[in-house]
Amino acid sequence: LTGVVLEAKGVMRHDQVVHTEEGPGVVTSGIFSPTLGHSVALARLPRAASGACEVEVRGKRLPARIVRPPFVRKGARVYK
């Protein structure tokens, strides 16, 4: 499992498809993070997947970024 942060408006949810250059993946759990101001999720992705990706939210592909959890540590963002 790896982390995904949605860069557009929307909320990622269970079973949504994640598109990467290395192939598709799937969101296992997702929620809106008030601390980050974005939706965050854990997803099963191809092992080599990194960087930018897209997540299908309500029939649209939205830009997202693959990150390493945790998303927030001691009240501060962990990803850039």
pLDDT at 77: 77
pLDDT at 79: 66
- Interior/surface letters 49-69, b for 16+ CB within 10 angstroms, e for the rest: bbeebbbbbeeeebebbbbee
> Measured between alpha carbons, how far is 43 from 18 in angstroms, rounded to an integer?
8
Q: What is the mean pLDDT of each run of 10 residues along the chain (80 residues)?
A: 96 98 98 93 97 97 94 76
Domains present along the chain, CATH in parentheses: 2-72 (2.40.30.110)
Cβ contact 79:17 at 8 Å: no
> Sign of dihedral through CA atoms 39, 40, 42, 44?
positive
User: In this structure, what are the phi and psi dihedrals at residue 67, rounded to the nearest 5 degrees?
Assistant: -135, 165
pLDDT at 5: 96
- pTM comes to 0.90
Tokens of 43: 């997803």
